[in-house]
Amino acid sequence: MAAQPKLARRITQVQPSATLAVSAKAKAMAAEGIDVVGFGAGEPDFRTPEFIVEAGTKAMTGGDTQYNAKRAGELTKAIVAKLQRENGLAYQPAQVLVSNGAKHSCYNICQVVIDEGDEAIIPAPYWVSYLEMVRLAGGTPVVIETSEETGFKITPAQLEKAITPKTKLFFFNSPSNPTGAMYTPEEVRAIAAVVEKHNLITLSDEIYEHLVYGEAKHLSLASCSKKLLEELVITVNGVSKTFAMTGWRIGYVAGPLPLVKAMAKLQDHATSAPASFSQAGAAEALGNQQASVPAVEAMRKEFDARRKHMVERLNKLKGVTCLAPQGAFYCFPNVSGVFGRTLGGKTIQSAMDFTDVALEAAKVAVVPGEAFGSPKHVRLSYASSMASIDKGLDRLEKLLNG
């Protein structure tokens, strides 16, 4: 047998991505010819709007294929203008760094802020990667628990209590993956007051800001005060979710200059700039509002209709309750009412068991809440057609209500 390579400690401590694992299992079943309904996806099912594809194609055929994208300056300018126009945030171009997706942006932040032994505060349920990024930087995640009672949102008092002399970073994500929860503008201001009082470097992940529904209103954390904008908050955003551009890999940060400079130094040695033609597509997405506003609104409306439908159907399942998400494209139902029941030949004791039974007995792929620090819940994405939402929920209904 071949000798096993000895891996570095930093990677052996990291968990594989549960969302990617569920997608892989569902895909493997589909490849065997099994008709699986997938609710695992973390990406829009829409195609990138044509005007963006054209801009990317034109850049590629026009020779914009070198390290230094010809339109890099244009993309940065479009980001600065977008942050001013939509979020009321005034940044200089040097305060912006474009990376290979917002995931890369978050990773860069952790690497330049967190040292061995430092703590990072993460409200649960959290996006799976935050925790592992903190660990990869040698830090310790400090998780704040929430529940349906507070709409899966932390209170300022909880945040204040979690801060210690070792705290280096606080993760704030509204609208949230996986819960779809959104902090109201008043709640954002109350969190901002704690951030300011404790000089807390904060990563504000606003990647789902355009996918909001009903009365919900997004407010950028950095807009709450001059100090937050200039010294404390790193705003993270990207084009993946808003413009259905997940495969283009364009995310960005804007924040205090010393932090952004440090991230740029790291990125220069790790990945350099993202693909030149992807940058051209992103510049068009952010800069051409005449085309982008109606395209985004059409997708948002479709998500909204699916959201309402999925929540309604989930709440009719025996043992399942689901808060209406206000943003992003996920439902996060509580399935603890199913614990103790035997379904598909297996007694369900956890969200992980629920996920296994849903996949094996009903051929429906969901993501177990354990991955998000929430063992009573599962995540279902409604980034799939209405027909497939109905097909999957028919199957779950048969499994749970039948």
Ligand X SMILES: Cc1ncc(COP(=O)(O)O)c(C=O)c1O
Q: How many residues bind ligand X (CB under 6 A)?
A: 13
Which of 44, 125, 139, 251 touches ligand X (CB under 6 A)? 251
Which of 38, 75, 91, 103 touches ligand X (CB under 6 A)? 103
End-to-end CA distance of the chain: 49
Q: How far apart, in whole angstroms, are the C-alpha atoms of residue 209 and residue 83?
A: 12
Stretch that binds ligand X, among 85-93, 101-109, 158-166, 281-289 (CB under 6 A): 101-109
Stretch that binds ligand X, among 95-103, 292-300, 335-343, 378-386 (CB under 6 A): 95-103
Nearer to ligand X, 319 or 327 (CB): 327
Phi, psi of 28 (to 5 degrees): -65, -40
Shortest Cβ 249–ligand X spacing (Å): 7
Q: How far apart, in whole angstroms, are the C-alpha atoms of residue 281 and residue 396?
A: 39
Nearer to ligand X, 39 or 127 (CB): 127
Which of 23, 246, 267, 384 touches ligand X (CB under 6 A)? 246
Q: What is the DSSP letter of 120?
A: E
Stretch that binds ligand X, among 60-68, 74-82, 98-106, 219-227 (CB under 6 A): 98-106
- Residue 224 half-sphere exposure toward CB, CA atoms < 13 A: 27
Ramachandran region, residue 244 (left: φ > 0; alpha: ψ -120 to 50; beta: rest): left
Question: Which residues, 6+ apart, have CB-to-CB distance to 181 below 8 Å?
Answer: 151, 152, 153, 174, 175, 323, 325, 326, 327
Which of 91, 127, 329, 354 touches ligand X (CB under 6 A)? 127
Instruction: Give the helix/strand (H/E) hosting 141.
Output: strand 140-144
Tell me how many helices (H) and strands (E) the chain has.
14, 14
Ramachandran region, residue 198 (left: φ > 0; alpha: ψ -120 to 50; beta: rest): alpha
Q: Convert residues 306-345 into a mask of x (bound to ligand X by CB under 6 A) and - (unbound).
A: ----------------------------------------
Stretch that binds ligand X, among 30-38, 99-107, 115-123, 350-358 (CB under 6 A): 99-107
Asked if 379 is part of the footprint of ligand X (rule: CB under 6 A), the reply reads no
Which tokens belong to 104?
């890369």
Asked if 240 is part of the footprint of ligand X (rule: CB under 6 A), the reply reads yes
Shortest Cβ 66–ligand X spacing (Å): 23
Shortest Cβ 348–ligand X spacing (Å): 27
The total of other beta-carbon atoms located within 10 Å of residue 260's CB is 22
Asked if 177 is part of the footprint of ligand X (rule: CB under 6 A), the reply reads yes
- By the 8 A CB rule, do 202 and 233 touch? yes
- By the 8 A CB rule, do 159 and 310 touch? no
Residues 41-60 that bind ligand X (CB under 6 A): 42
Asked if 205 is part of the footprint of ligand X (rule: CB under 6 A), the reply reads yes
Which of 173, 276, 326, 381 touches ligand X (CB under 6 A)? 173
Distances (CA, A) of 302 to 21, 315, 343, 387: 27, 20, 33, 13
Asked if 101 is part of the footprint of ligand X (rule: CB under 6 A), the reply reads yes
- By the 8 A CB rule, do 46 and 391 touch? no
Q: Convert residues 210-229 into a mask of x (bound to ligand X by CB under 6 A) and - (unbound).
A: --------------------
Stretch that binds ligand X, among 9-17, 22-30, 97-105, 214-222 (CB under 6 A): 97-105
Residue nearest to ligand X (CB): 101
DSSP strand E in 221-321: where? 233-238, 251-254
Nearer to ligand X, 249 or 376 (CB): 249
Which spans of this chain sit near ligand X (rule: CB under 6 A)? 42, 101-103, 127, 173, 177, 205, 207, 238, 240, 246, 251
